[in-house]
Structure 1
């Protein structure tokens, strides 16, 4: 055991954190005691050569050598070995991608959170696929570490929220942030080389915001900017959480290069001069040809003010793009944030009071004490934040779960939800919401008819057997099972089904619909025709008895007609469910009827339009696979009901449902019969 401040320290109670930056590696050893974080020891070593660019490790061996020096120096002073470490992936390694996603909805249903979540997941997946497709390395994979919705759309109109509305189309512009797997892999590679096990992995912006903006302040719309050497990392808070991450490809090196070009200095000399600008008022230096300079800070700043203003303008533009507006306040950390006049320029670009843009150093960290030399300045916010997060949440850096029996692991940078797991496996978001079946719009005798499709059924999500949702929190070893959504059936209706509700009478034991031959878009169609979108259906309803008799080729003067047991005349108005019976008049009675007038000039056969022999109409058909010759004298075509005159089939004894088929299609009694037709008649 080692001692610090007179107290004995156990290696099991300390937290070792490493912040591997572009310029240097910072190691912090601390522990949590009495509700405060005690920093026991600190080590800072600069990279001797450029082994890192913009926060990304390029030479693992060189970075590992510096990290090992930091570790060894700390171990030498502590008196025990460090075996575990907390690290952070550079925010400047984050990748962002903006997409637009949309989908059609059932306008009759209210838009709820489930629908909105599904739309957002689809957008994140679309962004991830696009990012991986455009990546120079096609094998590069990404973790989604955060996203924000820039704009919602309802029926192509901009909305602030979709919840509770109705519409037939919704959309969203989504900005998603991703971390390349290679960043994590390279960090692990360095740690393995120096014998350290990673016990916690976070993101540098998360570590910084953890200590720079306490949770109690995150209800406000705040921005944290970590201005490093190569890039500036941006994190945005609102409603109690971090809602977006961003990165500007400008930072402290822009100022260093401006100083070098303006005063003809090498890069290292310019960097040293830049660091002292906020520490003293007068500066003495010589350029590369030996010309000496003695200048004040304000004189130097004035010479490079356009570059500082440009840096502020580009960062402000990123903030507006990701936040949608100016935030309530901006907190600046990192070495680059200390450039004089930078915060004033940034406040002007954002339209904020200068007091609303401030630099924050370690002095603002709550509940922290130092038992070693105190770390001061904004550049040490992140190293301390890495250790604090690791102590607060000693969870593994990855959580392992199963989704539909597929094992996956998730980077544990934030509270994880079912939606995070679905994004990770690339689950099709459209399988979460059941689509209503396609409806049908048509016209009957000029009147518009609309039939809605069958409603769909949403997906069911189970977490460890219990019903959950997309925003159910998940933890290590959870088992998630998803039953996909079901789409509703499209409307499919035939003419026969359409006219099921038409008035029907029973004519000599046969059911008959009181409608003339229907036309579809002006053309005849069989009753098994499937109605299409926009069809114009026309038909004439049979209203009087003489019209009905004409359909059955009966003449009122040659028969007696009874409806529901009572005899009626030709002008009888037909009603639904009428029972109609026809009695043929005997030949003598027919003759009497024909000769009843004194001035009658026609014989009986002419009166009833008896066809001559050469007008006999014979056709061959097949009924229940038996050939039948229809040879009655007729001037009009045969219809289906005529077949019963040629076969032995008793319709009076009901033995089930009477099935009538014409050429394998369901038939009606008035369907036309042609030579070669195949007919089936049977009970089912």
Structure 2
């Protein structure tokens, strides 16, 4: 970036904006703004509320534009280390001959290392965004060197650590920038920026661990041999102390933050990196009920101490976890020093607790503010302390790294921003990986082969080759190493994996009599050859079965009925015969139903053990078809008889009163003949009830003309005796109905 830069540090508690330019090798601060979030829009280093964060950024941007008379359209930004993932790799450039190394050679070699690190990333890149990288070292002709520029060599190597963050983290940052009319033109990580601000290059040969403690996260960078060796992060920082104070003293977050800052001011003297306690002075505060209290700084410090100890232990665990392996580890563990930066580094007693948890002398732990680095001028008081490390270091990186820029391309109509060297080093390959396209979708994978033995002889079925990816750049076919320019459009078609090897037993049969044909038979009326018997790993198998890797296949002549069915595609193991046992009128009845129809020479076979024991001879006829098995009530029990009816004569004409229909009860419930019966059912047959009739029932069958009944009395006789409507009617009764 040339001229003046706008660096932007979006923290958990506040946002810092800085305008700076380069003068005589120094970073000169021309203006700055620091605005605290009015609500917790950023938590643990991650933007949660885009609108509220954008409002704070806009306030800073507008203020800097107004005071400086400039229009800000681009910003350099740093990303918190939450959920940071890294990938280490080396890139190499063959210089062809023994010649002087140029700046262009450095750019090409550094990019090849970045691409190698991207390819080595061991997690699914779909959920991550390539966030940046840092150089870990140079080698010329295999020997390490701090700066290879101007040296002569035949080969040049660059080592990098590529960093990845969840896509949602970067996308939220870009969303804030877009809402404020800004474009992110330079991007790095907060620990990288902090290292740049507080550790000059000549100091990076020492074994140092920089811990940048913000409000939501503590970012860790291990430095040795002149470069950053590893990164770490814990989601515990200054806010954890504030929240502990809130719980202990029952105060709101703002009051807890004020108490924490008061304690810090009582335990540090201005400009000092060592604790200078002033613990006797009383510190007033109010709880959530408005009650006022006053306690000494020493008493409050004792209450906060457990939270400080926990923060120190968490930082120590992450430092030890990131130390180098091998012989260098023992020296590292006893010789390194810890440099603290960030506003959270002012936490009271933190240095003492780190000394205990890291087992380091107290003198090897301290705060190093940017003012000590000697590379910044016109430092405002608010940024001269450790809290200014990230925004100042970010400005320094943006001013001193003109070779790094953002190349904007379109990938399948989706916008993509890529890091680029010398404006011409981003490739189709790096664009795909940065967009979260997995290596498998880029290169494809050959199909897996299958190895097996056939009658003792080793056989191999090869897998298919992958179909390579297809890429078009601005409509023209391109390979993956094509260098991209700003505004290029990439159309990408993923590679297709080769098909895994597949073969069936039947594919192994040679043609002709050698196939083990032992004659012919009829299968469902069609003439077929009798198959040989097939075994996989000692068990019988069908010719249509797939060969598995490392299996043993044997083909023997045979005429088992199961083999005949297997050749026809019938899986005998899936055939079933359903059997049930019911109680019918107190008697146990066993029934069965098969899901297939099978006959051998006209004899039906319903037993699976019998099926497995039968052999087929030449000339036999086999019939097979699949069935839907069912056992219905009508198959087990006939309907019981109806009840006896009653026949009578009315005025000489015969009439019948039928008995009731019989019922079949299953488990006490009436059931229809077509209903399926379950195992264990109790079936009862209930005959129909005998018919019962009274004289009044007769009138449902007879009628009279109204003129015949007018003014007359009804006369009723049963078997010549006078009767009433309720008189019962028995078989053969003679009924007379008239009027007089």
TM-score normalised over the length of structure 1: 0.52
- How far residue 236 of structure 1 moved from its aligned partner, in angstroms, is 5.8
Q: Which residue of 2 aligns with 1:399?
A: 407
Deviations 1:571-613 (A, max 9, x none): xxxxxxxxxxxxxxxxxxxxxxxxxxxxxxxxxxxxxxxxxxx
- How far residue 120 of structure 1 moved from its aligned partner, in angstroms, is 5.2
Structure 2 residue 204 is matched with structure 1 residue 208: no
* Structure number, greater radius of gyration: 2
CA contact (8 A) 2:242 2:256 kept: yes
Aligned length: 453
Q: How does 1:33-72 map to 2 (within 5 A)?
A: 33-47=23-37, 52-56=42-46, 66-67=56-57, 70-71=60-61
Q: Which residue of 1 aligns with 2:268?
A: 278
Structure 2 residue 108 is matched with structure 1 residue 86: no
Q: Which residue of 1 aligns with 2:397?
A: 389
Structure 2 residue 462 is matched with structure 1 residue 453: yes
Q: Which residue of 2 aligns with 1:178?
A: 166
Aligned Cα root-mean-square deviation (Å): 5.4
Q: Which residue of 2 aligns with 1:25?
A: 15
CA contact (8 A) 2:452 2:552 kept: yes
SS across alignment from 1:226: strand
Q: How does 1:355-504 map to 2 (within 5 A)?
A: 357-365=365-373, 367-370=375-378, 375-393=383-401, 398-401=406-409, 407-410=414-417, 412=419, 418-419=429-430, 421-422=432-433, 424-427=435-438, 429=440, 432-435=443-446, 437-444=448-455, 446=456, 448-451=457-460, 453=462, 456=465, 459=468, 476-477=486-487, 484=495, 487=498, 490=501, 494-496=508-510
Q: Which residue of 1 aligns with 2:177?
A: 188
CA contact (8 A) 1:119 1:429 kept: no
How many angstroms apart in 1 are the aligned matches of 2:486 and 2:354? 42
CA contact (8 A) 1:440 1:452 kept: yes
- How far residue 378 of structure 1 moved from its aligned partner, in angstroms, is 1.2
Deviations 1:258-315 (A, max 9, x none): 456667773254033133022253244234355544556xx75444322211111223
Change (3 A) 1:281 1:429: same
How many angstroms apart in 1 are the aligned matches of 2:74 and 2:365? 34
Change (3 A) 1:16 1:341: same
- How far residue 343 of structure 1 moved from its aligned partner, in angstroms, is 3.4
Q: How does 1:190-339 map to 2 (within 5 A)?
A: 191-192=180-181, 198-212=184-198, 223-235=209-221, 247-259=233-245, 266-276=255-265, 277-279=267-269, 280-282=276-278, 283-288=281-286, 292-295=294-297, 301-319=301-319, 329=336, 330-339=338-347
Change (3 A) 1:527 1:216: farther
- How far residue 31 of structure 1 moved from its aligned partner, in angstroms, is 0.6
- How far residue 362 of structure 1 moved from its aligned partner, in angstroms, is 0.2
Deviations 1:401-440 (A, max 9, x none): 355x555403649996735623525346266253254233
Q: How does 1:345-360 map to 2 (within 5 A)?
A: 345-350=353-358, 357-360=365-368
Change (3 A) 1:315 1:478: farther
- How far residue 40 of structure 1 moved from its aligned partner, in angstroms, is 2.5
- How far residue 373 of structure 1 moved from its aligned partner, in angstroms, is 5.5
- How far residue 382 of structure 1 moved from its aligned partner, in angstroms, is 0.8
- How far residue 361 of structure 1 moved from its aligned partner, in angstroms, is 1.5
- How far residue 379 of structure 1 moved from its aligned partner, in angstroms, is 0.6
CA contact (8 A) 2:21 2:28 kept: yes
- How far residue 20 of structure 1 moved from its aligned partner, in angstroms, is 3.3
Change (3 A) 1:432 1:353: farther
Deviations 1:5-36 (A, max 9, x none): xxxxxx99322223333333323221113333
How many angstroms apart in 1 are the aligned matches of 2:489 and 2:512? 48
- How far residue 335 of structure 1 moved from its aligned partner, in angstroms, is 0.9
SS across alignment from 2:262: helix
CA contact (8 A) 1:45 1:66 kept: yes
CA contact (8 A) 1:41 1:371 kept: no
Q: Which residue of 2 aligns with 1:594?
A: none
Change (3 A) 1:118 1:262: closer
Change (3 A) 1:86 1:347: farther
How many angstroms apart in 2 are the aligned matches of 1:118 and 1:51? 32
How many angstroms apart in 1 are the aligned matches of 2:544 and 2:295? 98
- How far residue 337 of structure 1 moved from its aligned partner, in angstroms, is 1.2
Change (3 A) 1:229 1:124: same
Q: Which residue of 2 aligns with 1:534?
A: 552
Change (3 A) 1:216 1:458: farther
Once the two structures are overlaid, the 10-residue window that deviates more, 454-463 or 268-277, is 454-463
CA contact (8 A) 1:436 1:455 kept: yes
Deviations 1:306-340 (A, max 9, x none): 22111112233445566797876544311111224
How many angstroms apart in 2 are the aligned matches of 1:43 and 1:489? 61
Deviations 1:528-554 (A, max 9, x none): 999874112579xxxxxxxxxxxxxxx
Q: How does 1:162-173 map to 2 (within 5 A)?
A: none
SS across alignment from 2:552: coil
SS across alignment from 1:13: coil
SS across alignment from 2:399: helix
Change (3 A) 1:524 1:369: closer
Q: How does 1:514-663 map to 2 (within 5 A)?
A: 520-521=534-535, 533-537=551-555
Change (3 A) 1:476 1:244: farther
How many angstroms apart in 2 are the aligned matches of 1:475 and 1:360? 41
Q: Which residue of 2 aligns with 1:589?
A: none
The unaligned stretches of length 5 or more in structure 1 are 1-10, 99-112, 129-141, 149-173, 501-516, 540-672, 677-684
Change (3 A) 1:237 1:274: same
CA contact (8 A) 1:83 1:197 kept: no
Deviations 1:371-393 (A, max 9, x none): 76583221101111222233234
SS across alignment from 1:83: coil
The unaligned stretches of length 5 or more in structure 2 are 87-112, 135-161, 270-275, 515-530, 558-616, 621-740
TM-score normalised over the length of structure 2: 0.49
